[in-house]
Structure 1
Amino acid sequence: MPHSITLSKITWSTPDGRTLLSDLDLTFGAERAGIVGRNGVGKTTLLKLAAGKLSPRAGSVTVDGTLGVLRQSVQVGPRETIAGLFGIADALSLLARAERGEADAAALAEADWTLEARLAAALARVGLEAEPETPLAALSGGRRTRAGLAALLFGEPDFLLLDEPTNNLDREGRRAVIDMLAGWRAGAVVVSHDRELLETMDAIVELTSLGATRYGGNWSAYRARKALELAAAHRDLADAEKEAADIARTMQALAERKARKDSAGRRKKARGDLPRIVLGGMKERAELTGGANARLAESRQGQAAEAVASARERIEILQPLTVTVPSTQLPANRTVLRMEGVTAGYAPERPVIRDLSFAMTGPERVAVTGPNGAGKTTLLSLVTGRLAPFAGSVRLFTEAAMLDQRVSLLDPALSIRDNFLRINPDADENACRAALARFMFRADAALQIAGSLSGGQLLRAGLAAVLGGARPPALLILDEPTNHLDIEAVEAVEAGLRAYDGALLVVSHDEAFLEAIGITRRLELVSA
């Protein structure tokens, strides 16, 4: 019988009583299913319910098969090792004793002579070189994530349950995880905003406040289907607006006809052409007919208005964000940044960057890439003046703005509006509100306190503050802007950057993001 995970009529609420999942039905088989949706909609909760780490308020979860759940713990003990993570420390110790001739016959009968080869194969599948005795604390966060994935593969589960497995991985690590999942033939349920990884999926499940919708195929197939849904929503809106206009015209015609008949009746009454009893009957019939017609028309008008509102709401949900921002007026031949013979780091005896020369001219879009530890963030710190080089020079020839993962240019105690006015002191209230509205902070949404925003909202607010002024800076510097953002937020950021005509210097491992914002050149750093 095929292995499966079935969630039936699942309802789950947060501790404060807010219903997050309601009457949800989903089944996963021997497939790779990507779970997508806004941050906070319940994607991680769904995985925890499937794994048995949470219990539903109503409904049931049935698992037929074994599960491998990625360990998300960042903190590890100083004595934890690769072998311990795999659960094979004792078995490896037995092999070592056997090889030294110290094991008795009973112990030799239990020895698994394929263990070391299977361990090496699992590590190789995620592109990780490590020894069994390697302490987990000695690995970077990204390499630790890969070790956790390798431990899952080693156990050969029927299902992998993975929550953002490529977060915080460098390009090499992301590629290893993507390749591993592309070749995975058992079941996998993967929460991710990594569109490159989602391209390897067999199905996409979109989770919204309205429930879950399954789309067959990978990310590209899902997006194509969503584009068709958007086109259909536009057609539905056009049809609903036409129907509403037709009803309005009909109501106007009925009102004008009634007015003419009422006027004629008053004239006849004034002349005394008809007996009073006849006039009374005519008036009663007219009132009855007019009242019925009015009620029918009002009902149809109300239904038409609801149809228009519903169609507009669907478009609001489906329509990608488009943004217009003022021009930086950066000439194509203008030198923006020049670094000459730069050596830098945090200890003179161990420089992170050595003898680097680099320049940007005009509205170039440059991606700074390389493995973790190669000096990408160090380079941005040099450009922004947060770090001075040990040797060489760094010169900026234009105004620049930096957006890091925390969007630290925003004061967390101030509202989005007040942050905008602080960063753009020449803007008036109307200009401020118009700029924020272009980034989907309309009306009271602009009054939200920056410290209360989600990661996606925070970055969007930072972009609005930097790009929404009368003259945006000619150089925008971004450090891993898509980390921890849902896809909707990433696409909003991409829309803002596509509308920007200045120079971009971007550190990112997200290839789909780099392609979407039109990177024209790469600066590849290597570990010192």
Structure 2
Amino acid sequence: MSPSPAHITCTALSFGWPDGTSVLDGFQLSVGPGRTGLIGRNGSGKSTLLRLIAGELTPSEGKIKVAGDIGYLPQTVVLDTGLRVDEALGIASARAALHAIEAGDASEEHFTAVGDDWDVEERARATLDQLGLGQIGLDRTIGEMSGGECVLLRLASLLLARPGVLLLDEPTNNLDLHARRRLYTAVASWSGVLIVVSHDRELLERVDQIADLHDGEVRWYGGNYSAYEEALAQEQEAAERTVRAAEADVQRQKRELTDAQVKLAKRARFGRKMYDSKREPRIVMNLRKQAAQESAGKHRTMHAEKLAEAKERLDDAMEAVRDDDEVRIELPHTKVHPGRSVLSLRELRLRHGAEALGWFEIHGPERIALVGRNGAGKTTLLRTVAGELEPVSGEALAHVPMRFLPQRLDVLDDSLSVVENVVRLAPAATNNLIRARLARFLFRGARADQPAGTLSGGERFRASLAALLLAEPAPQLLMLDEPTNNLDMASVRRLTAALESYEGALIVASHDLPFLESIGITRWLVLDGELRDTSAEEVREAELPYA
């Protein structure tokens, strides 16, 4: 009897953070073999759901049933820098035993360690080569690898383990174009259960179905992301028509209620006039008055109920229309006058071999894209400019207030609320002023009091960006390292809107060409061993990878 295919079932699943923030409540999910793209707004619970399925978190209620071994790639891959590649791949013991047997040691423990996996080294090298890591030796240490290479290495370890269920959370973060294409190929060939959370449209075009997590429930759409967008657009168009019809109904019911009240008022005046003129016996007039009051009360109640029902239908219709709030801010204190020097790089030699020889001057308000391959040294350059790393030689001099938002988003204190984190960087600002400014970043009311440690990846980025932009003194040079990592597509639009309000100099290291073009890049720098000026056309023609 063949084993049942891998699948995932979540029944009546509930989960909340220790501060009381509810993420999932009575959640239901059933996923079978195939490639599923899990999408939804930042903060909707996508990463939390993957962590629950992977067993990293425990639900407060409900059950999770998984048939098949689980492989999980988290948003942030953290590997011990002292590990060797074979240890990270999980093959170190089998490899050591294999080498011992080949050297003539026939101990039983070595054969036990190898099992049936006699080609473990060949499979490991083939998997690394498939993901573009063929040049990395199995004895190399993690500390010698870039962030993107670490992501691919973690994925390689999962592929080697051959799990029945594969969970990928923003797997293309930190990957250059070539690495992304290799990952796309690996995803396209996956035959088990695959759930991928991603904002990478090209990756989502390779899935079999879209699961849209919205308001604590999943809606399923067959096909890839393009098919989902088309179906959602039709749904939203129908929902907006329903809203317009419901609004018209509410207005009609209001008019009918007003007309009824006017008619009842006229009848009441006529009744008082008849009573005052005493044209009928008092007992008859009292009975007539009582009947009129009862009829008027029923009439008013009927129209009021119709109006309440119409308003309820309008509320239901409006819930079906998605609200996509935009970040709207003003940052006048970040302005840098054209031509003013904001950063000087002089004969700079960086750690790990990258160089910025000669003199590079950056003036305000230039918008600079920093591009290059994984491991080229872009993050090292930004950290050196930010003062986090010492250069091997040369110097980097900032001439204006500067802030740096790293990939790892560690500018926030997880134990403090969003408001408290901003207060740390702007201690002179009043609480009301900070809250008013945070509201422009969509942290309104209780959301501003949410602990930073409970924020989703996209919310954490937005809170980190708010903290830096609202800091005192206001930054006139802002450096962002892979800012679209962990952001859904709505959040990327919000980031673009926020940067439209920024009037200082901007340096962005990113692999996301559409995003770079959307924020008005005025200068392109490529770091590939050495730093040099390039152009958007050269980047496209050479298909330079961004990471």
Structure-1-length-normalised TM-score: 0.77
- Contact conserved, 1:326 with 1:470, CA < 8 A, in 2? no
Kindly provide the CA deviation profile for residues 442-494 of structure 1, in whole angstroms up to 9, marking residues without a partner as x. Answer: 45655667788665445434545666799976643223334455655444323
Counterpart residue number, 1:61: 65
Choose which of 31, 34, 40 in structure 2 pairs with 1:31: 34
Note the 1:164-179 alignment, pairs <5 A.
164-169=170-175, 173-179=179-185
Counterpart residue number, 1:481: 483
- Structure 2 Cα separation of the partners of residues 79 and 465 of structure 1: 35
- Structure 2 Cα separation of the partners of residues 197 and 245 of structure 1: 46
Note the 1:76-475 alignment, pairs <5 A.
76=80, 81-82=85-86, 85-87=89-91, 89-90=93-94, 93-94=97-98, 97=101, 115-129=120-134, 130-135=136-141, 139=145, 142-169=148-175, 173-315=179-321, 317-323=322-328, 325=330, 334=339, 337=342, 339=344, 341-345=346-350, 352-360=354-362, 363-381=365-383, 383=385, 401-404=403-406, 406=409, 408=411, 416=419, 419=422, 423=426, 435-443=437-445, 445=447, 456-461=458-463, 463-464=465-466, 475=477
- Contact conserved, 1:81 with 1:132, CA < 8 A, in 2? yes
Counterpart residue number, 2:524: 522
Counterpart residue number, 1:497: 499
Match of 1:377, as an amino acid? T
- Structure 1 Cα separation of the partners of residues 329 and 456 of structure 2: 23
1:258, distance to aligned residue in structure 2 (A):
0.9
- Structure 2 Cα separation of the partners of residues 113 and 292 of structure 1: 86
- Contact conserved, 2:325 with 2:442, CA < 8 A, in 1? no
- Structure 1 Cα separation of the partners of residues 405 and 115 of structure 2: 57
Kindly provide the CA deviation profile for residues 197-222 of structure 1, in whole angstroms up to 9, marking residues without a partner as x. Answer: 33332222122443222222333443
Kindly provide the CA deviation profile for residues 237-261 of structure 1, in whole angstroms up to 9, marking residues without a partner as x. Answer: 3333322222222111111111111
- Structure 2 Cα separation of the partners of residues 495 and 330 of structure 1: 16
- Contact conserved, 2:38 with 2:195, CA < 8 A, in 1? yes
1:27, distance to aligned residue in structure 2 (A):
3.2
Alignment root-mean-square deviation, CA: 4.6
- Structure 1 Cα separation of the partners of residues 204 and 520 of structure 2: 21
1:344, distance to aligned residue in structure 2 (A):
3.9
Q: Extract unaligned runs of 5+ from structure 2.
A: 531-547
- Structure 2 Cα separation of the partners of residues 470 and 92 of structure 1: 55
1:263, distance to aligned residue in structure 2 (A):
0.7
Counterpart residue number, 1:7: 9
Identity %: 35
Aligned in 2, Cα 1:223/1:402: closer, same or farther, shift over 3 Å? farther
Match of 1:125, as an amino acid? Q
Aligned in 2, Cα 1:222/1:500: closer, same or farther, shift over 3 Å? farther
Choose which of 40, 43, 46 in structure 2 pairs with 1:43: 46
- Contact conserved, 2:39 with 2:213, CA < 8 A, in 1? yes
- Structure 1 Cα separation of the partners of residues 424 and 106 of structure 2: 75
Aligned in 2, Cα 1:312/1:336: closer, same or farther, shift over 3 Å? farther
1:278, distance to aligned residue in structure 2 (A):
3.4
1:296, distance to aligned residue in structure 2 (A):
1.7
- Contact conserved, 2:95 with 2:121, CA < 8 A, in 1? no
Q: Extract unaligned runs of 5+ from structure 1.
A: none
1:86, distance to aligned residue in structure 2 (A):
4.5
**Partner SS, residue 334 of structure 1:** coil
**Partner SS, residue 214 of structure 1:** strand
Match of 2:40, as an amino acid? G
- Contact conserved, 1:335 with 1:397, CA < 8 A, in 2? no
- Structure 2 Cα separation of the partners of residues 245 and 462 of structure 1: 44
Aligned in 2, Cα 1:91/1:379: closer, same or farther, shift over 3 Å? closer
**Partner SS, residue 162 of structure 1:** strand
- Structure 1 Cα separation of the partners of residues 473 and 63 of structure 2: 55
- Contact conserved, 2:348 with 2:395, CA < 8 A, in 1? no
1:232, distance to aligned residue in structure 2 (A):
4.0
- Contact conserved, 1:423 with 1:466, CA < 8 A, in 2? no
1:525, distance to aligned residue in structure 2 (A):
1.0
- Structure 1 Cα separation of the partners of residues 210 and 493 of structure 2: 17
**Partner SS, residue 190 of structure 2:** coil
Choose which of 74, 84, 98 in structure 1 pairs with 2:78: 74
- Contact conserved, 2:371 with 2:511, CA < 8 A, in 1? yes
1:339, distance to aligned residue in structure 2 (A):
3.6
Match of 2:324, as an amino acid? Q
Kindly provide the CA deviation profile for residues 389-440 of structure 1, in whole angstroms up to 9, marking residues without a partner as x. Answer: 6766756676655444547499986873994797597x89987665443322
Question: Which stretch has the larger CA shift, 386-395 or 152-161?
Answer: 386-395
**Partner SS, residue 321 of structure 1:** coil
- Structure 2 Cα separation of the partners of residues 384 and 366 of structure 1: 16
